[in-house]
Structure 1
Amino acid sequence: MTDSDVVDIIAEKDGHLLYAEVNGTSTVPGLDVDTATGQLVRRMPSEADQSVSFALVVRDEPRSVDVAVRAPQRILDLLGMAL
């Protein structure tokens, strides 16, 4: 993992790591979600690692959620990402 010092949240439980980027209030949620997703992708290891997960956290409001869920679930699954 590189740049872990700039990940918003790092959590560990039972040997499993979760890296999360958090999006707060924004005037341009689409750009912010895309940026956060890119930040997570850049931090992913080059080899699959079942002990590491990645998540994007957005505000529980329609505008933010609508932007976040536009990524196809298949792609999120391939990346090991959750919303």
Structure 2
Amino acid sequence: MEEIAKDLKPVIEGIIKYFGKFSLGHMRFIWSQLNKRLMKWVQWEKGLSVMASVKWQKKKYKANPALFPHWALVHP
């Protein structure tokens, strides 16, 4: 997950900076979709069930809330 965060962080920060000037609240849907996609990746990579992947992602968030910049706006 850290490698994915390292690759996505500049892209997410750029989107937040650009669209944050206009309507950051409307981006909530996109960040939720990104969280769902990350959850699907965890399911595939770790072989976990849906609920186990949700718990795993929340545990990652609690351990490092700044891992993904959009987690400041939409928590997993």
Q: Return the TM-score normalized by structure 2.
A: 0.36
Structure number having the greater helix percentage: 2
Structure number having the greater strand percentage: 1
Larger RCO, structure (CA 8 Å, separation 6 or more): 2
